[in-house]
């Protein structure tokens, strides 16, 4: 389910935005200030709707800080006819803002379009639990913090995540990670790569929840950690 963080101080408008988005199948996370937005941000969020006129800080500066933590699209809500980034003085791009009063069908359509464009550009192929993985741009996050993965670790992770919870055999993983050289690479190299990957992915690497061993077969990705 798509998740959107709505930061809008007007509670009446906020409720109408929430109801419109929920009818379109979004899961809405509500915040009424930038401070609340910070508290409710997580790697699960796909899109942020942000009221330009929040009273507890500068919305544009907040977005720049956000970009240091998460690659998330932000759709500004503004009552100004000319939307200008007060942090840089530059006009916002058309896809960056919506004018108030809002037409809620337009809001929902723009939210879908911004998210679709963002996912195409960022190459996000998986997001869930504390993780967001972009294999095409080689960006990986856990709880919003970047993970530094070696090339082989990235290949191993991609092979498992793209299997969507199914077990992947040792032989398939060797081929996916080492390609034509897999015939000359022993399973010990795969085990060592998995060990390093677990050190970066798991909360407790000795008791893996996400990168699970399927004894006698290979490994599987358990996205919800259960």
How do residues 147-167 score in pLDDT, each as one tens digit? 999 999 999 999 998 887 899
Could you tell me whether strands 3-7 and 27-31 are parallel, antiparallel, or unpaired per DSSP bridges?
parallel
pLDDT of residue 3 exceeding 70, the answer is yes
Highest mean pLDDT among 27-41, 50-64, 106-120, 208-222: 208-222
How far apart are alpha carbons 185 and 71 in whole angstroms? 36
Q: What is the pLDDT of residue 122?
A: 57
For residues 88 and 102, the answer to whether their CB atoms sit within 8 Å is no
* Start-to-end CA span in the chain (Å): 19
**Tokens of residue 104, six digits:** 């809620």
Q: Domain locations in the chain?
A: 3-124, 149-221
The owner of tokens 């809008």 is 8
Nearest to 190, CA basis, from 171, 210, 204, 165: 171
Instruction: Round to whole Å and give the CA distance between 66 and 29.
Output: 16
pLDDT of 1 over the 70 cut: no
Mean pLDDT for 33-41 is 90
CB atoms within 10 A of CB 216: 8
Which range has highest mean pLDDT (43-52, 97-106, 124-133, 192-201)? 192-201
Domain pair 3-124 / 149-221, same fold: no
Return the higher-pLDDT residue of 78 and 48.
Answer: 48
Q: Which residues contact 11 (CB under 8 A, 6 or more apart)?
A: 32
Architecture of the structural domain at 3-124: 3-Layer(aba) Sandwich (3.40)
As a CATH number, domain 149-221 is 1.10.10.10
What's the whole-model pTM score? 0.56
3-state secondary structure of 155: helix
Please tell me the chain's helix, strand, coil percentages from 3-state DSSP, rounded to the nearest 5.
Answer: 40, 20, 35
Structural tokens at position 209: 């929840």
CA distance 168 to 131: 20
Supply 30's token pair: 């509500």
Dist CA 128 CA 26 (whole Å): 15
pLDDT digits (tens, 9 = 90+) for 174-222: 988 998 788 888 899 999 999 999 999 999 999 999 999 999 999 999 9
C-alpha span between 37 and 102 (Å, rounded): 21
Dihedrals phi, psi of 140, to nearest 5 degrees: -135, 135
Strand 74-78 vs strand 47-51: parallel, antiparallel, or unpaired?
parallel
């Amino acid at each position: 389910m798509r998740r959107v963080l709505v930061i809008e101080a007007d509670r009446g408008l906020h409720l109408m935005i929430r109801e419109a988005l929920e009818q379109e199948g979004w899961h809405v996370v509500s915040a009424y200030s930038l401070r609340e937005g910070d508290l409710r941000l997580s790697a699960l969020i796909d899109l942020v709707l942000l009221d330009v006129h929040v009273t507890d800080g500068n919305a544009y500066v907040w977005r720049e800080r956000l970009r240091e933590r998460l690659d998330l699209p932000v759709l500004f809500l503004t009552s100004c006819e000319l939307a200008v980034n007060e942090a840089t003085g530059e006009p916002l791009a058309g896809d960056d803002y919506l004018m108030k009063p809002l037409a809620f069908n337009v809001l929902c359509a723009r939210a879908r379009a911004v998210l679709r464009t963002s996912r195409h550009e960022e190459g996000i192929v998986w997001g869930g639990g504390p993780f967001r993985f972009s294999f095409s741009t080689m960006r990986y996050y856990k709880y919003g913090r970047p993970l530094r993965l070696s090339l082989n670790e990235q290949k191993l992770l991609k092979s498992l995540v793209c299997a969507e919870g199914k077990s992947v055999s040792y032989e398939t993983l060797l081929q996916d990670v080492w390609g034509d050289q897999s015939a000359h690479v022993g399973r010990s190299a795969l085990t060592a790569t998995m060990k390093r990957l677990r050190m970066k992915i798991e909360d407790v690497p000795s008791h893996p929840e996400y990168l699970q061993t399927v004894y006698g077969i290979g490994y599987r990705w358990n996205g919800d950690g259960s």
